[in-house]
Structure 1
Amino acid sequence: MNENLFRPQFDALKLSDKLWLMQTLATRYHLTFKELYAFSRWGQSCTTGLFEKGGREFVFVPGNTVILGWEGFVQGMDKANQEELADIFAEIEYEGSVEGFLRQGMTPVRQVTIGPMFVGRKLEEIGWESVPMNDPRITAHPDWLDALRKLADRDGQSLKIHETVRFERNGDSWKAWLCHPMTYPEFQRSLLWDLAASLPTPDEWAYLCGGGCRTLFPWGDGMDYSMHLHHFESPEDEDKPFDMEEPNFFGVSIAYDPYMREVVKAEQFTTCGGDGGRGICGGLGIFLGFLPCSPHCKPKVQEDKELNGDYDFYRPIIRLENHD
């Protein structure tokens, strides 16, 4: 594998050399090269290539040998985080150490070599097909349309029938999606056939999320309560972007909403980056509610056979083959 495709050497390249390399890779992997872009976040930075394929935006992420996993604090939590956890521990009558409690849900520390790849910048839905409102599969259900008319009379914005259909208001009209449930193996095969792409492995996902950070989160050892966070919005922040959803140092929007489980490549149906909102729904607060978004959190092997179109999302990646 070309050593320039790994982060230490890639970061050291001149912009002209990066530009040539990105254009060469675009041709080889049948992507459209858009531009070089400098991403910087949480103490890490990477100037890399942006690409487009099939209406999706990809970013080139260089490979690296990194330490993944977590066993203890590097910086330690601030007072606000300590107080939140103290209240929760008192409620559940936990008397052990904070590190011991957190370590139970973290992957073990290990050294891993991650190969270079093109990465879908945004999470995508699974199993929802966008269809016009006059699609026969919609018009064949007058009860759906009747419910939609009643909703419109009440100024409602959306209607969803579990694992069947959903409607969302689009100005003065409506948009519709039909649900197509599928199993984990079916989805992986469709991804390969339709996009010639794959899913990141749990280790690749952890690298994309944390870049090899040794702190609990990419920004530090606790939650930053000044962030504008999903599910903890205040009225004055309504129009502000969600901080964790903004592109990270690789240009990837990842691990920003605990309700959104990111499907990864494994022998069984496995997810990272969220728990379907269990922690938040269970009243665990911001710190523990967002803990599944840590790059070091253990991947969750799901018991269900079918993917859940409400909570499961995916990110296509294209791994670079060995070449000079």
Structure 2
Amino acid sequence: MDERFLRPQFNRLKIADKRTLMQTLADRYDLHFKDLYIFSRWGQSCTTGVFERANREYVFVPGDIVTLGWDHFASGMNEDNLAELEAVFEEYEYEGSLEDFIQELMTPVRQITIPPLLVSRKLEEIGWEPVMLDDPRLTAHPNWMKEFQEFAAADGESLNLVRCARFDRDGDRWQAYLYQEVDYCQFKQILQEQGLSLPTADEWAYLCGGGCRTLFPWGDSIDYGLHLHHFEMSDDQRPYDLEEANFFGLSIAYDPYRREVIDADVLTTCGGDGGCNICGGLGPVLGYLPCSPHCKPEVQEDQKLNGDYDFYRPVIRVD
């Protein structure tokens, strides 16, 4: 591997050398190199290239040799988090220690070599095809259209006819979608034909945490001052903090309802549990624990991808 593509050496390159290297990648992978950007968050920083192709932004993430996994707190949870978990443990009559409970959910500590990647900056939907409202595949279902018209008249924002159709308000117009079922192996084959793939579990953990030794990329506790999906105040118009770009420029692990599909032998996800903990009323700490970079990947029983909960992040592997 070219050592310039590894994070310690890459970070030491002069700006002009980085720009030349990024243009080389753009030419090799048929990308438009937009510019170098500085991404800094939670004590980590990277000045790297942002690219574009087919209305999708990629960022270059240098490789590294990192420690992944979790076996103890770096500093420990704050009092508010401990009080929240104590109440949950009391309700469910859990008598073990907090560290034992969390360690059971985390991957073991190990040292891994992560290759350099070009990574899509945002999660993308699976199975939803945008269509016009007069698409004959929609109008062939008058019951769908009737339900949509009633919903639109009531000033609704988004109507999801599960695994059939969806209607999202976009300002003064509506965008319709049709759902197309696809299984995991078919989906990986489609990506491969486009020269794309999915990150592995270890790669995803690195993209999310960058090798952090804390439970979350920012520390061992959930900050109740963060604006979090599903725990926001009704009048809070701030951006969702965890959806903002991380130290690699990625919007990742920001919504526990969004399971991120990774590369494995069978359908496996990271970055969320489909909202199970939140729906179960377990609060923000356990609600967001599946978004930890160290949390065990979840092997799904069904190989059919679920367009309401499963999302993907395409990557280009740098040779």
**Under a length normalisation based on structure 1, what TM-score does the superposition of the two structures give?**
0.97
The 3-state SS of whatever aligns with 2:67 is strand
Deviation at 1:173, TM superposition (A): 2.7
Q: Within 1, Cα distance between the matches of 2:171 and 2:32?
A: 33
Q: Alignment identity in percent? A: 62
Give the aligned CA root-mean-square deviation in angstroms.
0.9
Matches within 5 A, 1:1-324: 1-193=1-193, 195-237=194-236, 239-321=237-319
The 3-state SS of whatever aligns with 2:206 is helix
Deviation at 1:158, TM superposition (A): 2.1
The 3-state SS of whatever aligns with 1:75 is coil
CA deviations 1:94-127 (Å, max 9, x no partner) are: 1211100000000000000000010000000000
Deviation at 1:308, TM superposition (A): 0.3
Deviation at 1:52, TM superposition (A): 0.5
The 3-state SS of whatever aligns with 2:105 is coil
Deviation at 1:236, TM superposition (A): 3.5
CA deviations 1:160-182 (Å, max 9, x no partner) are: 21111111122333210000011
CA deviations 1:190-209 (Å, max 9, x no partner) are: 1111x310000000000000
CA deviations 1:62-108 (Å, max 9, x no partner) are: 00000000000011111111111111111111121110000000000
What stretches of structure 1 of length at least 5 have no aligned partner?
A: none
Q: Within 1, Cα distance between the matches of 2:314 and 2:64?
A: 19
Number of residue equivalences: 319
Q: Within 1, Cα distance between the matches of 2:171 and 2:49?
A: 35
What stretches of structure 2 of length at least 5 have no aligned partner?
A: none
Q: Within 1, Cα distance between the matches of 2:133 and 2:39?
A: 40
Q: Within 1, Cα distance between the matches of 2:173 and 2:241?
A: 31
The 3-state SS of whatever aligns with 2:305 is coil
- Which residue type is aligned with residue 209 of structure 1? C
Q: Within 2, Cα distance between the matches of 1:50 and 1:282?
A: 39
Q: Within 2, Cα distance between the matches of 1:208 and 1:153?
A: 43
Q: Within 2, Cα distance between the matches of 1:279 and 1:288?
A: 6
Deviation at 1:30, TM superposition (A): 1.1
